[in-house]
Structure 1
Amino acid sequence: MRKRVIRVAVMAVLVALVLLATPLALGIQTSFFADEHDELERTALAAAIHVPAQFVAGDHVELPGHERGTDVGVYDLSGRLRDGSGPRKADAITRSAKGGTATRGHGDHQIVVAVPIATGEQVIGVVRASTGTPQVWQRVTLAWLGLAGTALVALATAVVVARRQARTLTAPLEALSTKAEAVADGDLTARAESSAIAEIDQVARTQNAMVERLTRWLEHERHFTSNASHQLRTPLTGLRLGLDAAAVGPDTELRAAVLEALEQVRHLQRTVDEVLRLARATPRTGVPAAARPAAEVVERVKRRWHGTFAAEGRRLDFGVEPGGGGLQIPERTAEQILDVLLDNALRHGRGTVEVTVREMGGALAIDVSDEGTLTLDRRAVFERGATTSRAGSGIGLTLAREMAEAAGGRLTLVRKAPTTFTLLFPVAEPPPFPE
């Protein structure tokens, strides 16, 4: 493209130079010959003034000095050269001046001007002045060479400017192409930079926006896999333990084990539905339609986790403050987030874990705290991959925050020691009682 821009610019300058230089060259030629005619006429008039009236009687004429290479001669009415230089017999141009008017013309590679000599109203002779055309052409050629030199300088300047402008125009496009190739090779961090050209900047902004959306989509897909594996781990473990207990226990406990397994399967189904919903969701305000009273949601989480904590020798306490249990919260989202927080407290915390439900100024707050101390920086807690132990994946808290935001809520770290997380949900109006 750069060569094409330079070629177009140079051709445009060449056309402009030809269109300007051709009439200018013709004008120089015409002007030089016209100036030479005028100069010869002035020389002839100066000589005619020095011709006395006694010229017809044969007196000698003293002609004034003139430029070298110019012939000046005085002719009588018979056409004979009386004084000066020139052809011995008057030519046609000289003879035509006997009519009383100055004449101009060309003859035998010469420029000729003839001026009549008059006494009173009577013409008594003719002064002829001439010079060779090669001398004039020499001056014309020198002027043309100067014009050609000026044109060459203009052309060279145009080439330099065209190269610079071509570089200015093509460099952003080449950089944009490089960034596009980098994105095609898998570098989703490559971004096109701005330039001084508005149209190219618009293309760069469009490409950057496209890459941003593509990056978000790909990250969404990658996160979905890790989120699903993380969230499905706990219900699958519970299901396996229940089935193992049913396999080794007496028949009287078989029904209870199967019911527990069915509950775990239902929870697994809700987990799958919630992870899939999160994969399609975007952050928004408001509470999803599938909402239940907070007390019911917390009670179901309590039944699912109480045995797990007891098996580890840990205590799990649930408390619902007055006014908080009846508030509506998104059922599945709240369960999934509490599963993450309790799993995080079980793996990385210590001591008693307390879950408190309370009403807080138009929102429902659920506090999850343990007796441990968080070593991570506050800003790194919710970053994907951040973990305090090798056993952790660094996904849970990030996923919990994403689920809270997708449901219009918010998950924050309130204290590092003892570790306390607070989950906030906007309050949904309780459903009306049926009539």
Structure 2
Amino acid sequence: MRQRVLRVALTAVLVALVLLAIPLALAIRSSLYADQRDALERSALAAAVRVNTGYAGGDPVELPVARAGERLGLYDPERRLRAGAGPRQGDTAVRRALGGVVARADADGELVVAVPVSHDEKVIGVVRASSASSAVRDRVLVGWAALAGAVVLALTLAVLVARRQARLLAAPLEDLSRHCRAVTAGDLSARAAPSAIAEVDQVARTHNDMLHSLTELLRRERDFTANASHQLRTPLTGLQLILESALEQSAPRQRRALGDALAATQRLHHTVDEVLRLAASGRRTGAATAPDWPLSRLLRETEERWHGLFADDGRRLECDTRGVPDDVRIPGGPVTEILAVLLDNARTHGRGTVRVAVRDLDDALALDVADEGAATLDDVSPAPAGAGGPGIGLALARELALSLGGRLALAGTEPTTFTLLLPAGRRAEGSFSRSGRAPEAP
């Protein structure tokens, strides 16, 4: 913005200077030439007054002493030089002056003024005054140089003033920009400072009011999340304790049902933890989950957990771990939850054998979950609040994938195939690397 303000100000100053300087330069030239001609005319008139009317009969002529740079000469009606300095034969200005008028002309690099000398209403001679044009031209050049110096000085002052004004105008906006970057980085306590510009102050006040409202909204959301966490975890923990106690005291034929109920409760507890973690990570820029699980372990435990459920439905679950790199570690909790959503979706809405496969894409991993059913767009669209269907679970899975720097997409509809893309984290790196954006689907 500073450069833009500076360019606009300098453009306006340059236009004004050009519009003023050119006419002023022409006025200087015209004025200096007019002054010189007026001076020559005054000298010629003063000399004409002193001319003796009997000079034609041989009386001496007394012309005044010419000023420096000027020449005075007296010409008779035949245009012959009778006294003073000048060309021996009168020029055009002398011929015109013999007609009884004051004549001005430029001839042979000189400024010439010729004044008639009259007696008894007759022109008896002409006084010619002249000076070199170069002298006036030098004075014009000096005047133009002074004008150019004034233009340069004005332009310099304009640059200094424009830079100061640009700084004054841009500083509040730059402060507001720094404040916005601080807010983006997570500092919600930052507030834009007032400035001397009313329009910028209005934007700053509006921004501060918006930030205050947003801070209050986040505070209420944080309080609600904390309360919801307490209200959800406490009864779930109590239910787990009851099931564990019942499992120890139950008959053998009841153990399986109680064990499944306890496992479902644990999965529900884990789901609540992931939902709350996702809500918290959405409020913190750069929040990440540590890569704490080997991928092979996660797939093995997923197969053990879901194999019996698919077997009860007369279906098969195949987890292909042959292409799983040994050195890859991933955030176990979120990825487990995503796979749980995909497998539950395949169990409820799919058919046939469900296959989980892993592809190593060097800088990313692709986890494919496919069944033998056919999906439509309505099957994978987010469902409205209170509605059933797979959309709600898939929406949660997508948000979890994004929170990991990955992407979940429907890769195929016949058969139904979901692909989870995750940035690859190698054990040698010591951390789960993530790119600035989600990997593109292969």
TM-score (norm 1): 0.54
Local SS of the residue matching 2:178: helix
Which position in structure 2 is the counterpart of 1:196?
196
Distance (Å, rounded) in 1 between the aligned partners of 2:167 and 2:115: 64
- After TM superposition, the structure 1 = structure 2 runs for residues 319-358 of structure 1, keeping only pairs within 5 Å, are none
Q: Provide Cα deviations, 1:54-80, integer angstroms capped at 9, x if missing partner.
A: 112121111112211101000001111
Which position in structure 2 is the counterpart of 1:407?
none
Which position in structure 1 is the counterpart of 2:49?
49
Local SS of the residue matching 2:98: helix
Distance (Å, rounded) in 2 between the aligned partners of 1:247 and 1:185: 49
CA separation of 1:248/1:96 partners in 2, compared to 1, >3 Å: closer, same or farther?
closer
Q: Provide Cα deviations, 1:93-151, integer angstroms capped at 9, x if missing partner.
A: 11110011111111111100000001121110000000010000111111111111111
- Alignment partner of 1:225 is 2:228: no
Give unpaired runs (5+ residues) of structure 2.
250-442
Distance (Å, rounded) in 2 between the aligned partners of 1:23 and 1:103: 28
1:237 positional shift: 7.8
Q: Provide Cα deviations, 1:238-285, integer angstroms capped at 9, x if missing partner.
A: 878999999999xxxxxxxxxxxxxxxxxxxxxxxxxxxxxxxxxxxx
| Highest RCO, 1 vs 2 (Cα 8 Å, sep ≥ 6) | 1
- Alignment partner of 1:71 is 2:71: yes
Which position in structure 2 is the counterpart of 1:128?
128
Give unpaired runs (5+ residues) of structure 1.
250-435
- Alignment partner of 1:105 is 2:138: no
CA separation of 1:92/1:237 partners in 2, compared to 1, >3 Å: closer, same or farther?
closer
Distance (Å, rounded) in 2 between the aligned partners of 1:92 and 1:242: 131
Larger Rg: 1
- After TM superposition, the structure 1 = structure 2 runs for residues 176-195 of structure 1, keeping only pairs within 5 Å, are 176-195=176-195
Which position in structure 2 is the counterpart of 1:17?
17
The AA in structure 2 aligned to 1:50 is: R
Which position in structure 2 is the counterpart of 1:28?
28
- Alignment partner of 1:82 is 2:82: yes
Which position in structure 2 is the counterpart of 1:363?
none
Distance (Å, rounded) in 1 between the aligned partners of 2:65 and 2:54: 21
Which position in structure 2 is the counterpart of 1:92?
92
Report the RMSD for the aligned CA atoms in angstroms.
Answer: 2.6
- After TM superposition, the structure 1 = structure 2 runs for residues 367-386 of structure 1, keeping only pairs within 5 Å, are none
1:236 positional shift: 6.8
Distance (Å, rounded) in 1 between the aligned partners of 2:233 and 2:95: 124
CA separation of 1:57/1:221 partners in 2, compared to 1, >3 Å: closer, same or farther?
same
**Moved beyond 3 Å, runs of 4+:** 229-249
CA separation of 1:89/1:245 partners in 2, compared to 1, >3 Å: closer, same or farther?
closer
Local SS of the residue matching 2:226: helix
Distance (Å, rounded) in 2 between the aligned partners of 1:89 and 1:229: 119
Distance (Å, rounded) in 2 between the aligned partners of 1:146 and 1:241: 99
- After TM superposition, the structure 1 = structure 2 runs for residues 206-285 of structure 1, keeping only pairs within 5 Å, are 206-231=206-231
Local SS of the residue matching 1:99: coil
Distance (Å, rounded) in 2 between the aligned partners of 1:241 and 1:144: 101
Q: Provide Cα deviations, 1:194-213, integer angstroms capped at 9, x if missing partner.
A: 11111111111122122222
Percent identical: 57
Which position in structure 2 is the counterpart of 1:170?
170
Local SS of the residue matching 1:215: helix
Distance (Å, rounded) in 2 between the aligned partners of 1:174 and 1:8: 19
Larger deviation, residues 216-225 vs 129-138: 216-225
1:23 positional shift: 0.4
Q: Provide Cα deviations, 1:407-428, integer angstroms capped at 9, x if missing partner.
A: xxxxxxxxxxxxxxxxxxxxxx
1:172 positional shift: 0.8
Distance (Å, rounded) in 2 between the aligned partners of 1:11 and 1:245: 86
1:219 positional shift: 1.6
1:182 positional shift: 1.2
Local SS of the residue matching 1:72: strand
Distance (Å, rounded) in 2 between the aligned partners of 1:26 and 1:107: 22
TM-score (norm 2): 0.53
Distance (Å, rounded) in 1 between the aligned partners of 2:241 and 2:3: 73
Which position in structure 1 is the counterpart of 2:273?
none
